[in-house]
Chain A
């Protein structure tokens, strides 16, 4: 089973992002140092540009993503995953999530119920484009 590691402080930031965005879906990037690609060193909040149904969908602006990747490359950092919230829905990726997922990234999904984040899980695609759950490790 693969895993992703992050500090409690970063986990709190992700939870808080889900809560401040409620009832809309939030999204952001999980960032690591290039030399240590499985431990999240920081997150970057990204704008959900979905105009039609932002309570149930998120889209990241391609230009935001391109600019972020350029910035990370310069800084010796790398995007290792994406997190997003499911307001009042389970912390599990939907079929829609799976269809839109890319390989080699971790996808963290949190359930935010009535404005409070209650649970988070992490997933990655296998070679058959199916999600497999990852272990989330909290570093000390």
Chain B
């Protein structure tokens, strides 16, 4: 299945400034792994100890995968849109 992954601005340095990357995959997880194989420098910004960092949101067709039954193992269809969205937060202490 051919899916398109949207890359957020701060990470485009690691994808040769591409804002959309097409990957052939069967699940969201495979799509992300395929992306990292293509652009290895992304890995440290997305994963920590082999797991997706808490500060990374992954959306599949505008749905947060945390709320999908199979989460990161959700199957994808041809033409699906995956988006990597940084969790942007802060505070004074």
Residue of B nearest to A92 (CB): B92
CA distance A82 to B10 in the complex (A): 11
| Distance (whole angstroms) from the CB of B42 to the closest CB of chain A | 11
CA distance A57 to B87 in the complex (A): 13
Assuming A66-B85, A73-B19, is B92 touching A87 (CB within 8 A)?
yes
Q: CB distance B90 to A96 under 8 Å?
A: yes
User: Across the interface, which residues of B come within 8 angstroms of A97, CB to CB?
Assistant: 90-91
The interface on chain B, measured as residues whose beta carbon lies within 8 A of the other chain's beta carbons, has a size of 23
User: Does A56 sit at the interface, judged by CB under 8 A?
Assistant: yes
Q: CB distance A65 to B88 under 8 Å?
A: yes
Residue of B nearest to A129 (CB): B44
Stretch in contact with the other chain, from A7-15, A98-106, A132-140: A98-106
The CB with the most chain B CB atoms within 10 A, among A27, A56, A90, A104, is that of: A104
User: Across the interface, which residues of B come within 8 angstroms of A94, CB to CB?
Assistant: 90-93
CA distance A33 to B45 in the complex (A): 25
CA distance A29 to B85 in the complex (A): 14
CA distance A53 to B89 in the complex (A): 12
CA distance A32 to B9 in the complex (A): 12
Q: CB distance B83 to A100 under 8 Å?
A: no
User: Does B34 sit at the interface, judged by CB under 8 A?
Assistant: no
Q: CB distance A102 to B86 under 8 Å?
A: yes
Q: CB distance B88 to A100 under 8 Å?
A: yes
CA distance A82 to B86 in the complex (A): 12
| Distance (whole angstroms) from the CB of A137 to the closest CB of chain B | 21
Q: CB distance B85 to A56 under 8 Å?
A: no
A residues near B (Cβ < 8 Å) are 25, 27, 50, 53, 56-60, 62-63, 65-66, 69, 73, 78-80, 82, 84, 86-87, 89-90, 93-97, 100-105, 107
Given A27-B90, A97-B91, 14 more pairs with CB closer than 8 A: A25-B90, A27-B88, A56-B92, A58-B89, A62-B87, A66-B59, A79-B9, A94-B90, A94-B91, A95-B93, A96-B93, A97-B90, A100-B87, A104-B11
Enumerate 6 A-B pairs (CB-CB under 8 Å) in ascending A order: A65-B86, A87-B92, A94-B93, A97-B91, A100-B89, A102-B8
